[in-house]
Structure 1
């Protein structure tokens, strides 16, 4: 389809059924991609802009800059003050927020379908016209330091940061998304403004909208907002490709212990997992669900139900562009850490050597299929799915295709991925008040 001077390319990526669930993509001449999923039966719409930048793109001295910038984009533009931004969305009963991850950042607003033009105008204005003023940088520094302090007060959160550091060391993936007190205190307005200019170019952005939306209308409104801001001047620009890379994690047997006077000890035992593009990820998803993904999972049954050693115990996977993690988390009384670790390690070893039973696999496939669909029941989740897919894979997969891929996982697939992932020597992160002898024994859990 063409509009005015330069031609925008529009494709239907997923046809949907009777116009429901249709996913379309338009690439504007300035390299900006716009994807929408149409769901006429709902009365809401979620509009988001995804930026191809995360804490992974920071040098050591810039650690925390991506997240700092996320805060600053809410502080005002040439057209709107911080109060104008928040009050305009509040006035229509909408919600607005943002989040920063290791490989991307997302800003979004969820509103009634009739208020979508307002959401588009406000969010586009924030991303293209942020002022990043010295006084806002100084004021927001205090807010971010409070956020770091709040996170530090939750050892269940901190232990995951500690595990990333254990696995990745002093690398961009190993450093915390929020930064540290020292790096946040050291960041200057100039550094953050340069970071904004470099990473918020339209070629690094994906616009996503889901709900009762019309694709052509969304494209027209987004294009108008970006052109008004002078952000689409490079007509020959092409979108950046999804990340790739060939990082191999070779950590094994590392132990990090943070001695804190907490009521519980918090542990993560884990090993390298799979990159998010790895075809074995479907089998790993089934394995993860059966091992620690619910109340019927093996770890929950062994650690909590049979022995009452923990309230919370689960396994998880996180996939990045070129590598991943598989981890088991548990929170327990400090004097029971070694029992919990022994049981978790025994179960991981058992599944690595023997695999899961067919019954466990059938149950996990059903659980994963159900939770996948139930997790996509609101427009916010749909916007997340299409925006992240465009940014991270450059393609879209229908829910039916996802369910087919999960259903196609065989017991042999799960056994193979269990051998590949769980047969590695694990590393361990622990936060809690362990006595010296207990702390010395932690190495036994990973040997």
Structure 2
């Protein structure tokens, strides 16, 4: 492409101006020094080189002809924003960045701010089809590429980890919790990057959304399935990994906030009004248990949702802060029972509850957990496992004994298929 021009399309507006290869920095007297303005210009050019030249983000509109204006104005708070000029420039509405002088009072934070805001400028080149929260999530995640040693994105992840029950697509700049959640959802970008194709997949998602003319209408489900990946499977892995923050830079990810911590079995509980999960949000139940007592080495988890919500219930076993086993609980309607075999072999055990019904509001549920004797493999008597199917779960035998004791109203037939169901779940564990 031709080199950019030597000036912005409009202005200058402020008392001081400095031009670079792709940017024009203007600042009010008393906000930053000449040297700080030069440093800002250098880091903006660095952000351009990494994001546009190296990674392949689209160049912001107009940068083939004009410098992108960046204004530093009075204000003792560390913040900045990127928007479009309301005056057309050659038939286009071009982006510009505004940073407040307080941004330069927190060490190197201003450098990440510049990279973050420049990514927003590039995002405008993809139209406005992408859901709004993903704009902030992506810009926060891109800070890692521009400044991999800074990890200034790390504190923002608490916007997700402290309130994972909020909907994945929650977007609201006036609601404080949702505001920070949008930034915290950078964790979704990290998961996709590390497990599903790297930063190129993030660009593919933005490319897909660029074909949509309706504002903020392209969901992650639409975009990810639209580029040939499987959103449902990605979401399963994402919610399970977040139990122990199983990412490359694990110690930069704040720990997951548990909905409840179970220290003894049996136990039971339910969702609460203030933290019941929203669509594609999650509740995390932590099991901090001592070694299993006697022969009850398995963890049996019973779930009942108050309404159909396309529930995803996962039991997760982890060691050394890495996920080793995931059991997806098989549900009939909104209820089911799952078994994590030999739970004492894991340092961390979690249950993850996620409604996947795409509508507003919260979803309620109840659960219980108890120790269980491991299932007995059916055999034909010679130990070779070729039985005739007459074997049984020892806990289902007897009159009223065991976890699933039979009663006068149901009789043993109530549980005729349960042993096969639980065995199937145990076999579906993913290592």
- Which bin holds the TM-score, normalised by the shorter protein? under 0.3
Query: TM-score normalized by structure 2?
Result: 0.23
Query: TM-score normalized by structure 1?
Result: 0.23
Considering fraction of residues, name the structure with more helix.
1
Larger radius of gyration: 2
